[in-house]
């Protein structure tokens, strides 16, 4: 009886603590990094909640100011203007993002490559007026692509581009990187539960207040109003890459903004690639890479990455998932595919730990 009572009291205390800890929820959406950023935080009181929101947005804004393709005074713009003339000194965060990008290039055998800038430009995705480059132009631009030509000096925090005309583009990783920075800053403030959404890149910090799983919905690549897949996860990041927001159509075929660096052309074959990973940087870079790699090569890579799971949807709407996910078919889940990390998958770290 006594033991029961102690347990009961303990449960009461836990409940009390939980309501103290999550007494206040605040959220805000702001336009940053060319998209909408949403941050939702649970905190003890209104004041600390507002401080947390401001801290998270400040981190995202800082990453944007350093790594934007479009801001003339960003580190990235300076690298692209000066980098082939002499090494450019950059902020340690920019250095880290580029170093991580190179890791993902090596891991994906070049499917992820931030030197695609000249190709993204040639296909008109910077100007917003997409066009077909000529074969000669493609050849010239392809010669400027290749991550091996980025030279990093960690001691001096400098970036050097070995070929004149090279252009870096961090569009495939910067949002995830910004989310990890923001989540880390929140954790440093003592925030234990938060949800961040940066243009479809999601990060779940800690465990949700209600229930034990966070829920993410993935829309149909051909009908953005239709939720097709539901994802239940304990925490961490989810990122999707697809061509359905930035693309042009020509003679019935879609040409999207994710470029196959080997071919010099928009990647083709998948409608979307969604990655679930402990860190948002990982999820962002790998979803872009998997979109380029396509189904077979992508699934092979996934089986080598213990902590990473993915949902790949092909052009003909076939859904394939990596082996660490467990999914219930649409017939059993109100017409939607419902997936979760398999309980047998002991490699996924589970609840969203703070990135570092």
Q: Residue 266: which of Mg ion, ligand AMP, none does it interact with, CB under 5 to 8 A by kind?
A: none
Q: Residue 133: which of ligand AMP, Mg ion, none does it interact with, CB under 5 to 8 A by kind?
A: none
Helix, strand or coil, per DSSP, at residue 88: strand
How many whole angstroms separate alpha carbon 263 and alpha carbon 222?
25
Binding-residue pattern over the window 269 to 308 for Mg ion, x denoting contact by CB under 5 A: ---------------x---x--------------------
Least distance (Å) from Mg ion to the CB of residue 326? 25
Cα dist from 12 to 20, 44, 185, 209, 297, whole Å: 12, 18, 31, 16, 51
| Residue 113 binding Mg ion, by CB under 5 A | no
Burial state string for 215-250 with b = 16 or more CB within 10 A and e = fewer than 16: ebebbbbeeeeeebbbbebbbbbbbbbbbbeebbee
Least distance (Å) from Mg ion to the CB of residue 255? 18
Q: Contact 203/280 with Cβ under 8 angstroms?
A: yes
Structure tokens at 115: 């030197």
Least distance (Å) from ligand AMP to the CB of residue 261? 5
> Which of 240/321 has CB closer to ligand AMP?
240
Q: Contact 245/163 with Cβ under 8 angstroms?
A: no
| Residue 200 binding Mg ion, by CB under 5 A | no
Q: Pick from 80, 288, 322, 340: which binds ligand AMP (CB under 6 A)? A: 288
Which has the closest alpha carbon to 111: 262, 237, 256? 262
How many whole angstroms separate alpha carbon 177 and alpha carbon 27?
21
- Of 150-169, binders to ligand AMP (CB under 6 A) are 169
> Which of 22/112 has CB closer to ligand AMP?
112
- Of 255-274, binders to ligand AMP (CB under 6 A) are 257-259, 261
Output phi, psi for 5, to 5 deg: -65, -45
Single out the segment in contact with ligand AMP by CB under 6 A; choices: 24-32, 110-118, 186-194, 298-306.
110-118
Q: Contact 276/236 with Cβ under 8 angstroms?
A: yes
In order, the DSSP letters of 262-324 are TTTEE--SEEEEEEEESSHHHHHHHHHHHHHH-HHHHHHHHHH-TT-EEEEEETT--EEE-TT
> Which of 159/170 has CB closer to Mg ion?
170
| Residue 80 binding ligand AMP, by CB under 6 A | no
Least distance (Å) from Mg ion to the CB of residue 275? 9
Q: Residue 218: which of ligand AMP, Mg ion, none does it interact with, CB under 5 to 8 A by kind?
A: none
- Of 144-173, binders to Mg ion (CB under 5 A) are 172
Cα dist from 20 to 95, 192, 247, whole Å: 40, 12, 47
| Residue 114 binding ligand AMP, by CB under 6 A | yes
> Which of 114/339 has CB closer to ligand AMP?
114
CA-based angle 330:295:324, to the nearest 5?
60
Least distance (Å) from ligand AMP to the CB of residue 3? 53
Least distance (Å) from Mg ion to the CB of residue 34? 13
How many whole angstroms separate alpha carbon 182 and alpha carbon 177?
9
Q: Specify the DSSP class assigned to residue 355.
A: P
- Of 188-247, binders to ligand AMP (CB under 6 A) are 241
Q: Pick from 64, 75, 113, 180: which binds ligand AMP (CB under 6 A)? A: 113
Residues forming contacts to Mg ion in the complex (CB under 5 A) are 172, 284, 288
Residues forming contacts to ligand AMP in the complex (CB under 6 A) are 112-114, 116, 120, 169, 171-172, 241, 257-259, 261, 284, 287-288, 292
């Amino acid at each position: 009886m006594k033991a029961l009572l102690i347990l009961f009291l303990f449960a009461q205390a836990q409940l009390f603590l939980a309501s103290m800890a999550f007494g206040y929820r605040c959220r805000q959406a702001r336009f940053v990094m060319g998209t909408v950023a949403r941050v939702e935080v649970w905190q003890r009181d209104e004041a600390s909640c507002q401080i947390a929101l401001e801290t998270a947005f400040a981190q995202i804004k800082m990453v944007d100011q350093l790594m934007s393709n479009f801001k003339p005074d960003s580190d990235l713009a300076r690298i692209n203007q000066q980098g082939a003339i002499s090494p450019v000194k950059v902020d340690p965060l920019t250095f880290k993002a580029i170093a991580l990008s190179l890791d993902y290039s090596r891991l994906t055998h070049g499917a992820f490559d931030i030197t695609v800038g000249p190709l993204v430009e040639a296909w008109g995705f910077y100007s917003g007026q997409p066009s077909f480059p000529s074969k000669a132009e493609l050849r010239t631009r392809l010669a400027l692509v290749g991550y091996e030509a980025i030279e990093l000096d960690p001691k001096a925090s400098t970036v050097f581009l070995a070929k004149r005309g090279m252009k870096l583009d961090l569009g495939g990783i910067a949002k995830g990187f910004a989310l990890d920075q923001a989540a880390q800053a929140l954790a440093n403030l003592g925030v234990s539960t938060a949800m961040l959404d940066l243009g479809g890149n999601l990060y779940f910090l800690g465990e949700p207040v209600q229930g034990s799983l966070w829920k993410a919905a993935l829309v149909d690549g051909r009908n953005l109003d239709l939720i097709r897949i539901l994802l239940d996860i304990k925490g961490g990041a989810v990122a999707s890459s697809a061509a359905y927001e930035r693309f042009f159509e020509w003679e019935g075929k879609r040409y999207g903004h994710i470029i196959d660096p080997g071919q010099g052309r928009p990647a083709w074959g998948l409608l979307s690639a969604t990655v679930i990973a402990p860190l948002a940087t990982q999820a962002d870079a790998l979803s872009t890479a998997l979109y380029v790699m396509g189904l077979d090569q992508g699934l092979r890579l996934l089986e080598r990455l213990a902590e990473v799971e993915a949902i790949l949807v092909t052009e003909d709407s076939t859904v394939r998932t990596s082996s660490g996910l467990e999914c219930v078919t649409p017939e059993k889940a109100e017409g939607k595919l419902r997936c979760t990390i398999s309980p047998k998958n002991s490699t996924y770290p589970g609840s969203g730990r703070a990135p570092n």
